[in-house]
Amino acid sequence: MSISRWSDPAPEAQEYYVYIRKSDEWALVHRAGCRFPRHMNGAGGINGRSNTGTWTGPFACREDAFGQAEAHGLSAIRGCTYCKP
């Protein structure tokens, strides 16, 4: 039996966010429940600029989030290693 570190909501209820660092040419996709988007929410975060990048979202599905990241033509796009989108 496998036990997860967090409980996932139903797939249709999951939202995703993308953190884009154009200056460094990379983006990270996060689940809505990830601690990183919540952390940035008070510092210009979600749908705004942080000190180093831009948060966009929410996106209704994983494919839309990765598609948004790819639309920026960045050299590196990956999922967060904490929330594993």
**pTM of the model as a whole:** 0.70
Q: How far is CA 30 from CA 1, 2, 36, 54, 71, in A?
A: 26, 22, 8, 13, 17
d(CA 80, CA 85): 7
pLDDT tens digits for range 32-49: 888 776 555 544 445 555
pLDDT tens digits for range 46-75: 555 556 788 888 899 999 999 999 998 988
Amino acid at the residue 48: G
Phi and psi, residue 36, nearest 5°: -70, -50
Of 76 and 10, the one with more pLDDT? 76
- Half-sphere exposure for 10 (CA within 13 Å, toward CB): 2
pLDDT at 63: 95
Q: Where are the domains of the chain?
A: 12-79
pLDDT at 37: 60
Q: Is the pLDDT of residue 3 over 50?
A: no
Q: Is the pLDDT of residue 7 over 60?
A: no
